[in-house]
Structure 1
Amino acid sequence: MATSRVLGYLESRKNLTGGACGVAGLVLTFAGVAGPYWPVVVAGLYGAGALIAPPERPALPDFPSPSQQLEEIRADFGRLGGYLADVELPPAAAARLTALTELLAALLEPGWVAEALAQDPEGVHAVSRTVRQDVPEAVDAFVRTRWWTRLTPGTEPPERHLERQLGLLQEEAGRLASALRDAQARRQESHTRYLEDRQQ
C-alpha cells in the first residue's frame, strides 16, 4: 500500500512539475545565479512547482454505455417474460400486456432500432423503468389486489386498473417508438436537402 502511494506520487503532476522546477534551479546554480544558497533555491523551486501543479484528476467512473445498458435491459426483459408466463390474467389485460411486450421486444431487438434507442438516454431510461419497475409492479399489484377482492366482493375489479396501467405504458412506449421514427425521418430529410444543395 505504501509502495503504491510512493509510486503514485512519483508519477503525479505535482512531483513532475516540482522536478522540472528543481532542474531549473540546478540550471540557475550552474549559471552562477544561486550562489552558495543553491540547495535552498533548488528545494524552493521544487516546492513551488509542486504547489502550482494542477491537481490530479481522478478517473471517471466506468459506467456502462447505452449499448451495454440495453444488453442488461434485454436480460431483465427475458426474466420478466418468465415471470409473466406464470401469471394468469383476464383476457383484456392479457391482450394489452401482449401488445406492450411485443412493442418492448421490438425496441430492444438487436439491430438498428436498438442502436437508435441507444442514442436516446431518456428513451433507454424509459424502457428500463417499464421493464424493471412499471410492468412488474402493475402485475404484482393486480395479483395481490385480486386475492383481497375475493374476500370483499362488490369492490371495483382490479383488472380495470391493470388494463388502464398497461394501456398507459403502451402509449408511453408508442410515443418513444414514434420519436425514434421521427428522428430517422428527419435524418432522411436532412440527407435529401444535403443532396439537393449539392446540386446547386
Structure 2
Amino acid sequence: MATSRAALAYLESRKNLAGMVGGLAGVGLALGGLAGAFWPVVVAGLYAAGALIAPPERTPPPEFDPSEQLGAVREDFARLREYLAEVELPPAAGGKLAELMELYARLLDPGWVADVLAGEPESVHVLSRAVRSDVPESVDTYNRARWWSRLQPGAVPPERHLERQLGLLFDEAERLTAGLQDREARRQQTHTTYLEERGRS
C-alpha cells in the first residue's frame, strides 16, 4: 500500500513531469529521424535529464491553528486552578496570585480578546509558559522551601521569594496585555488613515 502511494506520488511529482517533457522531446527527435537507431537511449536520456534538473518536491510545513493552541492553554489553565485550590499560601502571596490568575482568565476567556491573543504567537507562548511552567514552579518551590526553612531558621523567608516571583509574572502579563492593546490601537489608527486617504481621493 505504501509502495503504491509512493509510486503515485512520483507520477504526480515535478521530476516525473519534467522527465516526461524530456522524453516527449526525445520521441519527437526520433520521429524526425534525428535519433537514428539509438532512439530509445535518446528518449531515456532526455527523460533522465529532465528528471534531474527539475526542482525537488517541497514538503510544506505543518499549519497550526492558533485557536487550537489557545484551547490547549485554556485546558491547562483549568488544571492549574484545580491544583492551586488545594495549596495553602500566605495572604500577601495568595492575593497576588489571585490577581494574576484573574488576569490570565480574562485573556483566555473565549471572545474577541482571545481572538486577538491567538493572532500573536509570541504572546500565546508567553502565556503558555507562565501557565504550564512558571506559576506551578513558583508555588511548588515555595512549598518545598517552606519545609526546609523550618530546619534552618533565619534564612530569607520563602514567601518573600514567592511574592517577588508572582509580582514579576504579573508585570509580564500586564506587558503582554499592553502589547495586545497597542496592536488594536495601531489597527484602529490604520483604518482611520485609510478612510482619510480615501476621502481625499
Q: Structure 2 length normalisation: TM-score?
A: 0.92
Q: Which 5+ residue runs of structure 2 have no aligned equivalent?
A: none
- Structure 1 window deviating more from structure 2 (18-27 vs 5-14): it is 5-14
- Structure 1 window deviating more from structure 2 (94-103 vs 186-195): it is 186-195
Cα distance in 2 for partners of 1:6, 1:188 equals 52
Aligned residue for 1:59? Answer: 60
Matches within 5 A, 1:188-199: 188-199=188-199
- 1:38 matched to 2:39? The reply is yes
1:10, CA displacement in angstroms? 2.6
Cα distance in 2 for partners of 1:114, 1:199 equals 33
The count of corresponding residues between Structure 1 and Structure 2 is: 199
1:68, CA displacement in angstroms? 1.5
1:152, CA displacement in angstroms? 2.1
| Cα distance, 1:197–1:55 mapped onto 2, change above 3 Å | closer
Identity of aligned residues (%): 60
Aligned-residue Cα RMSD (Å) equals: 1.5
Cα distance in 2 for partners of 1:58, 1:191 equals 37
1:124, CA displacement in angstroms? 0.9
Cα distance in 1 for partners of 2:58, 2:191 equals 41
1:59, CA displacement in angstroms? 3.5
Q: Structure 1 length normalisation: TM-score?
A: 0.92
- Structure 1 window deviating more from structure 2 (7-16 vs 106-115): it is 7-16
1:85, CA displacement in angstroms? 0.5
1:35, CA displacement in angstroms? 2.1
Aligned residue for 1:122? Answer: 122
1:170, CA displacement in angstroms? 0.3
| Cα distance, 1:63–1:134 mapped onto 2, change above 3 Å | farther
Q: Provide, for residues 16-47 of structure 1, a one-character-per-residue CA deviation record: whole Å limited to 9, x for no partner.
A: 21122111111221122222221121111111
Matches within 5 A, 1:148-159: 148-159=148-159
1:186, CA displacement in angstroms? 2.0
1:185, CA displacement in angstroms? 1.6
1:63, CA displacement in angstroms? 4.8
Cα distance in 2 for partners of 1:123, 1:115 equals 12
